[in-house]
Amino acid sequence: MPQTLAIALAQLNPTVGDIAGNAEKVRRARAEAAAGGAEIVLFSELFLAGYPPEDLVLKPAFLAACRAAIAALASETADGGPALIVGTPWVEAGRLHNAVAVLDGGAIVALRFKADLPNYGVFDEKRVFVPGPLPEPVELRGARIGLPICEDIWGPEPVAHLAAAGAEILLVPNGSPYRRTVAEQRRAVVAVRISESRLPLAYLNQVGGQDELVFDGASFVLNADRAPAAQLAAFAETVALTRWTRTATGWRCWQGPNAGVPAEDEANYAACVLGLRDYVDKNRFPGVVLGLSGGIDSALCAAMAVDALGPERVHCVMLPYRYTSNQSLSDAADIATRLGVRYDIVPIAPAVEGLEAALKPLFAGRPRDVTEENLQSRARGTILMSVSNKFGSMVVTTGNKSEMSTGYATLYGDMNGGYNPIKDLYKTEVWRLSRLRNRWKPAGALGPDGEVIPDAIIDRPPTAELKDNQTDQDTLPPYEVLDDILERLVEKEMPIADIAAAGHDVETVRRVERMLMLAEYKRRQAAPGVKVTEKNFGRDRRYPITNRFRDPGPDAAG
């Protein structure tokens, strides 16, 4: 029997629905892998369809196109080159499966179906797929390969079944979205499965952005003793060759890449950049436009946009009114110069005053309030959307998670836009990542090196500048307090009593919870944005808009 094996891990960025383009990626990766001597090329979960395909897999025409593409790729393996393991939706006996197709020698030599379909958080695969039977090993190039698909390794049964059936190597195609701490969770799960099965495991993950989700890649190989054998880069496409040898105790990977794994803040920033880049490019926008206010949120979004797309594809617009300070004007101009973007100033006074004049008869006898403040934001939103309509660029909206949580944002105003790279970052994280970007940028970033966000912006108390001497803290608790409460309410679903017991003022917690619940209708109308936390607003958290429940807190509990 063969004593060596060369397996290529194709950590690539598919596009959902682009079957022809994804198939071409398979061909290019196979050619690259063949040049390096690979015998098997592994692709990620549902690679041919793009992941997650959601309800596309309910369209018979889509499934037929995937099946035809698999047949074409299979016929091409008659050339004697590497075998392919490609993820695809597949209908068998009238049942739709999340599958992998094993292609070799000009034919589909095996199909394996995902047995454990996830139905939590961002996943709802049980809605469209039928679970397959526990997978059997596949004989391929002299080795017995186990092919559990993604969720199949998060519980013990599929891997235990493969080990009992004589599998020698586990090759796991994944569509595992990025979230902070996910790398440690994956490693822990893989270590447990290896300990149980005593088999080496290659964990191959997709890379790239798909709407709210970003896939970080960061694929890796652990040997049967759980020793690391290979680590692929995060947030980057690569076709990595791993070399294996059959020993007296089983197969062992002895050669593969050894890339570094980014720390949490670096990973969060890189995820936001990649998510924005792929949303713009995969939806074929020529570039982006955003309002540059002189504040920290728009400054960070501008830096991320330039890192994602390059300065020539980013248009920043300052939209001043009577409350816009000279410092905001100078800071906005400063960051635009540092980033090298197109920068225009469009005063909004004519628009705001025209709206106020139109509304004057209706508002007669009523005092000025937040209504007039919001007219400023809505005028800005209309101008930015008009620029988008005229030139085709997508509006980047710039609200952070603290604002999205509490409703400290204006519908049809600063919430206007197509995509929000910082939607899942709390305000305290926005400050932290801004400081990070001034000393570091991710690999492949197209923006300039060095300090791109002036210290004056980072150090300045945040303000919406919708009235004189306004700061965010007029309406919200201090952000270090607010963000801790929000994380406990949103991501941990903690009761008010427990949050108060952790050291927070109970009335402050009640007030924050009330703002969180009341703002649900706004969040339903917000632009999509990159997920980086355990629970984002969108795919993860689906609260009803009409909802009278409120946590009564510690007093009611006695």
Binding-site residue set: 120, 176, 291-298, 374, 398, 403, 522
Q: Nearest Cα to 12, choosing from 38, 37, 42?
A: 42
Residue ranges of the binding site for deamido-NAD(+): 374, 403, 522
Cβ–Cβ < 8 Å for 523, 404: yes
The 3-class SS string of 458-517 reads HHCCCCCCCCCCCCHHHCCCCHHHHHHHHHHHHHCCCCHHHHHHCCCCHHHHHHHHHHHH
From the list 25, 39, 45, 212, the catalytic residue is: 45
Q: Which residue in the block uniquely carries the two structure tokens 């682009």?
A: 18
CA gap 324, 312 in Å, rounded: 27
Residue ranges of the binding site for L-glutamine: 120, 176
Maximum Cα–Cα distance for the chain, whole Å?
Answer: 91
DSSP letter, residue 490: I
Beta bridge partners of residue 344, listed in sequence order: 317
Beta strand 138-140 with 95-104 is: unpaired
Cβ–Cβ < 8 Å for 191, 224: no
Q: Which residue in the block uniquely carries the two structure tokens 């609200």?
A: 399
The pair of three-digit structure tokens given for residue 488, joined into one six-digit string: 């406990």
At residue 179, φ and ψ (nearest 5 deg) are -155, 155
From the list 114, 401, 531, 535, the catalytic residue is: 114
From the list 66, 125, 150, 282, the catalytic residue is: 150
Segments of 217-257 assigned E as strands: 220-222, 228-231, 238-247, 250-255
CA gap 214, 148 in Å, rounded: 22
Q: How many CA atoms lie within 13 A of 449 on its CB side?
A: 1
Q: Does residue 114 carry a catalytic annotation?
A: yes
Say how many Å lie between the first and final Cα of the chain, rounded: 72
Cβ–Cβ < 8 Å for 46, 69: no
Give the DSSP H/E element, type plus range, for residue 83: strand 83-92
| Burial per residue of 438-477, b for 16 or more beta-carbon CB atoms within 10 angstroms, e otherwise | beebbeebbbeeeebbbeebbebebbbbbeeeeebeeebb
Residue ranges of the binding site for ATP: 291-298, 398
Q: Does residue 150 carry a catalytic annotation?
A: yes
In terms of Cβ atoms closer than 10 Å to its own Cβ (0-12, 13-18, 19+), residue 373 is: middle
Alpha helices by DSSP H, 37-109:
60-76
In terms of Cβ atoms closer than 10 Å to its own Cβ (0-12, 13-18, 19+), residue 180 is: middle
Q: Nearest Cα to 218, choosing from 251, 261, 256, 184?
A: 261
Q: Which residue in the block uniquely carries the two structure tokens 């054998």?
A: 229
| Burial per residue of 109-136, b for 16 or more beta-carbon CB atoms within 10 angstroms, e otherwise | bbbbbbbbbeeeebbebeebbbbbebbe
CA gap 83, 281 in Å, rounded: 31
The pair of three-digit structure tokens given for residue 436, joined into one six-digit string: 């990070």
Active site (catalytic) residues: 45, 114, 150
